[in-house]
Copies of this chain bind each other. A is one copy, B any other.
C-alpha cells in the first residue's frame, strides 16, 4: 500500500494538469470572440478597477455634526420693538444636526388654565347651536380642550376647559415676521472618523484657516469649502422660494458628501455640500394645507401673582437636516483578488458565448464539434470510437 500512496503524492505534487484546447483558425468566430473578450476586459479594467475602484477596501465614516446659527432680527409689531437673537429663534439650542430656525410665529401671550369658548373655525366643525351639541367631558379631535357642556352664543362654539384664551391660528402672518432670517448664517463643524483606516478628518480642511472662516461665505464655485452658509442661499439652492418657506415653514436637507481615496494624500479628502428640498410649498401655492409647511408649538411657562401662565408660540420655520455621507477607499489585497475572481467569472461568459457561436451558427460547425469533442460510448465494453483518428 505504501508505494501507492507515495506515487499518488508524487503525482499530485509533480504533475500539473492543464486543459487541452483546439486552436480554431476561423476569422469570423475568432474576431467576434476577441471583441467580446476585449469588451469584458475593458469592463473589468475600466469599470471595476478604474471607475469603481474594485481594488479598494471601503469604510463608511462615523460622522459628528455641530451647528451654530448667528444673526439678529428686529421686529416692530404695532409699535412694540423687539430683537431676536440665536437663543430666541433656534430649536433645539444645543447645536444639533437637525434643528429649526423660526421665521414666522403666532404668539398667544398669558394663557392660563380656565374656561373659554372654542375657536370658531371656518368649516363649522366647532359650531354649536345649543348646549346639546357640547358633550360635557368629551373633546374633539380638532378641539383645544375638554367641553364643559355649555354653548356660548357669542361665538356659536362650545365652552371648553383649556389654556385660555385659545390660540387663534386661522391667519398666518404674511409677510413672515422674521423675513430677515434670510441673512442668518449657519456654521457647520463636521468631523468624520474612518475607524478601519484610523483616519479622522474635519470639514475645516487645510485651506480653511481661522482668518478665512472669519470672512468667508459658502459659494459652490468660489468658496466650496467655506463652512459658513447664508440661510437664504441654502433655501434657494434647495429649489424653494425663501419668502414662501419662511411664511409656512419647510424642511431642507444638507448633505455633506465625503468620497475619499486614501491612496492619495489625505489633503485631497474634502467635503462636498449639497442641498435639497424635503417639504415645502411650490411658488404659486398660496392655499394652506395641513400636509404642507413645517410648524410646531412650544410654551414658555411663568408664574404671575401665584398663577401659572404660559406664552404659547406656534412656530413656523425652516428645518435643516444635516446628513453626512462618508466613504473612503484604500488599496487592499482582498477586494483586489475578489474583483479579479469575479472578472475571470465573467470571462467564462465570453467563452460560453463564443462556443455557442462556433458550435451552432458557423457553417463548418460539424467539423468543429468533432475537433472539440471526443466521444466515449458503451464504455462497459471498452469499445472506443475516437473520431479523426
Q: Indicate whether A155 reaches chain B with its CB closer than 8 angstroms.
A: no
Q: Indicate whether A91 reaches chain B with its CB closer than 8 angstroms.
A: yes
Partner of A72, one of B14, B62, B83, B144: B144
| CB-CB contacts below 8 Å: A71-125 with B | 72, 74, 81-83, 85-88, 91-96, 98-100, 113
Shortest 10 CB-CB contacts between residues of A and residues of B: A341-B346, A341-B345, A16-B30, A93-B298, A345-B345, A87-B299, A344-B348, A20-B20, A74-B146, A17-B21
Question: Complex: how many Å from CA A343 to CA B384?
Answer: 35
Q: Indicate whether A352 reaches chain B with its CB closer than 8 angstroms.
A: yes
Which candidate, A126-134, A170-178, A264-272, A286-294, is the interface stretch facing chain B? A286-294
Q: Indicate whether A302 reaches chain B with its CB closer than 8 angstroms.
A: yes
Q: Indicate whether A213 reaches chain B with its CB closer than 8 angstroms.
A: yes
Q: Known contacts being A296-B94, A297-B86, A384-B388, is A17 close to B26, with CB within 8 Å? A: no
Partner of A83, one of B31, B113, B382: B113
Question: Complex: how many Å from CA A344 to CA B294?
Answer: 53
Question: Complex: how many Å from CA A321 to CA B324?
Answer: 14
Q: Known contacts being A94-B296, A143-B72, A364-B380, is A34 close to B20, with CB within 8 Å? A: no
Q: Which residue of B lies closest to A32 (CB)?
A: B16
Judge whether A145 and B83 touch: CB under 8 Å: yes
Residues of A within 8 A of B (CB): 12-27, 29-31, 33-34, 43, 47, 62, 64, 66, 68, 70, 72, 74, 81-83, 85-88, 91-96, 98-100, 113, 137, 139, 141, 143-146, 161-163, 185, 189, 191, 193, 195, 200, 202, 204, 210, 213-214, 251, 253, 255, 276, 278-279, 289-291, 294, 296-304, 310, 312, 315, 319, 321, 323, 334, 337-338, 340-349, 351-352, 354-355, 358, 364, 367-368, 371-380, 382, 384, 386, 388
Copies per assembly: 3
A253 smallest CB distance to B (angstroms): 6
